[in-house]
Structure 1
């Protein structure tokens, strides 16, 4: 063995991550480092005998995804990392990140890789996403609730200013003007706070993970439903019966959903209905945000998703708009290789539809790929 090869072998043996080489023709692991014993609790000599049992621990929701990945890997068509889950009875799932490599030496195809345990990082990310989802939904609820209250105070103050004849030298007109200005500024400040949060999220780096879209969107949807008493609307949602996975930046994508629901609230009268329906499509996930509000004039619809659109208008309760919200939604959805569209009729309501691709190809790859790995 050359000094060069010996150096890299020593590096692999010293690594705290699992390093392995799989001979595709022989269907055997021909090298695995000592980390296999500490990370996966296996035996170096028994690694090939243990491989079928290890594959049986793969999370069932990941099988199609892994099979699709494997089919591309053996053709040297993949360089991206992949994250998978291993199940252990009575314990939390372990998350692993695989960094693949492909080498063809003297006609032999060798598949190498580094397997890193990223369970701690994934749990941290899940908790952060959960916190952000709840925070953003709560901000949207409070912004509508507080804005509505301040707008009402402003309108009452304006009415009193016009209708009440104050005595000479009275400070009532001055106090009513202060009340109007304070209410108006408060509404502006509340909406700016929500807009800044959305803009900050949109301008941060994209952090995409493979997630069950129903599970991650249930959190903000449940928060919005609990807040419907404050919002004065009837809000409902439906989720798919089975998990559907997509590659999403959870924080950004939930912001898109909350923004669309917030817009529906703005243009739906009190006691109106707003609903979100998440359903599978052919190779995609469909998210429909439906309301029975005032609808969007036909002339405005072509310009809805433009930045600083001329289609912007205040909400039914005087809520201001920057004309950026739907444009940012469109940008974020396109970052996820998806589309956003609207179907609206004045006086009847609107339906916004977001469609993003699923993360795996469902098909006949599963049995073939797993048989090949198990053999």
Structure 2
């Protein structure tokens, strides 16, 4: 019997997991393509050349592949991910190229890994979402416990001087802080929230002014201890928003806490809610030290380099304003700021009304 030349493709032709093909790297003609390859690309050996395959690749990947295929030492290429663009859609192909020694023929395997990459991206996005949640929880709970601790110390002082009505008022605020944080933790840790890629913002149409006034009142109780006056203003008797009220108050509370770090005693922080025909704007304006120009571009970044110690020794963690911006975006709003060193800072959270361009 006449010996037949070994065909390296033959043992794999029945494999339905890989697109299998061969081509001549000199003439750029296909030699073989299995049914899966023909189905995916819509090619037939008699109609198309390898150039058609190359032309469907992203231009960067095309240049890379063409440079790699110019090898003269017959080295294999394995695990090369190429982006194929067809009708505006991107597919990701994991490819192996095996030059057949002493010929210009190349045997190749390709696998569409688009679904795998998408699944990996979903996992990464999910993990990033959970990391954001845990970061926000740790930041806000630590801040709340610190405030509660300060209030309790204040209450001890009042108790020793028999000012029991003041003690009761302070303990009431501590209780509200604890209840608010318990509710926040429960909201964030709901199974639906941790397993979903979307944040469960529970939007209800309600008057936000009542909640804002109550929040400011909590800080008024601490005026003697803080040495800073916190005031509230609105141009309306009622302002209705379709919004998650708990998360909105958390944002404003964080902005006030941030302002307190950089406002010296004797200063003030104003919280205002202003409704116009275009938007509802919440402004937190302080008479503090302001933000230096060289820090402004980076203040919303996670672990920002624009971190600095507060006026009263508060240690920076670099995530406070990132937390705030993240939550503002969850609420469908925008945040901006104006600041001049030595002249204070104003943060503005804007809820654009429906029909108004963002």
The TM-score range, normalised by the shorter chain, is 0.3 to 0.5
User: TM-score of the superposition, structure 2-length normalised?
Assistant: 0.45
- Structure ranking higher in helix proportion: 1
